[in-house]
Chains A and B, each alone.
Chain A
Amino acid sequence: AQSVAQPEDQVNVAEGNPLTVKCTYSVSGNPYLFWYVQYPNRGLQFLLKYITGDNLVKGSYGFEAEFNKSQTSFHLKKPSALVSDSALYFCAVFDSGTYKYIFGTGTRLKVLA
């Protein structure tokens, strides 16, 4: 069965430092991977996706993610964190067998001023 794991419930980082939010996946075919962000009392906002092509994917608000097939990972990164980046981040995979999206449990990012 397809699955997504976000091993960290919370990540703390100082403002201006680089940030990484981890995601690993398990799929039987080609992975279709996504990152979403959720601010308090809001729905999820699409950040970026990997369908095919370059392993480094750039998205909204300066975020990028690196697809690593051998490590089955799709970590979210940003070179310099902002306090406004503090939010809940979800990794997701589209299961091409069941046509369902499977979401990770979410990682709360806290950027400290």
Chain B
Amino acid sequence: KAGVTQTPRYLIKTRGQQVTLSCSPISGHRSVSWYQQTPGQGLQFLFEYFSETQRNKGNFPGRFSGRQFSNSRSEMNVSTLELGDSALYLCASSADRDRGLVSGGSYEQYFGPGTRLTVT
């Protein structure tokens, strides 16, 4: 199976601009999560999408948004970019986990290579 793909791999934007990042999960995976990775803060959870619905979100301002399409591909948008938004943005997909925690659910996540965003 092909792995998780993210495009673009690198981006340079100016403060105040907006950016859209794309993620294609592993075939058959319906859950897509986004993370921000910075040297100072480590991995911070942004949000998770499942079946085109945001199922969970972290503590990021409303400038960060996302969506998921019917083919499970997901996009993340950041509006009004700030210097502090410079980071590696990682997308992760996982097979549907059983919220009832019945055995057979898959909990591990599979990560894409990330998009390195630099805001100047």
Contacts and interface: CB of A to CB of B under 8 A. Distances in A.
B43 A103 contact: yes
B55 interface: yes
A110 B108 CA distance: 25
Interface string A75-113: 000000000000000100010101111111110000000
A14 interface: no
Interface size class of A (residues with CB under 8 A): 20 to 34
A103 B42 contact: yes
Nearest to A32: B107
Given A46-B109, A51-B107, A96 B114 contact: no
Contacts of B32: none
A94 B42 contact: no
Given A96-B101, A100-B45, A46 B110 contact: yes
Given A99-B56, A100-B45, A103-B42, A49 B108 contact: yes
B21 interface: no
Contacts of B90: 43-44
The interface residues of chain B, by DSSP majority, are classed as: strand
Given A43-B4, A100-B58, A94 B113 contact: no
B107 A49 contact: yes
A70 interface: no
A28 interface: no
Contacts of A94: 107
9 cross-chain pairs, A with B, having the tightest CB-CB distances, nearest first:
A43-B111, A103-B43, A44-B111, A105-B42, A46-B108, A43-B113, A43-B112, A43-B114, A49-B108
Interface of B: 4, 6, 33, 42-43, 45, 48, 55-56, 58, 90, 92, 99, 101, 103, 107-114
Interface of A: 30, 32, 34, 36, 41-46, 49, 51-52, 90, 94, 96, 98-106
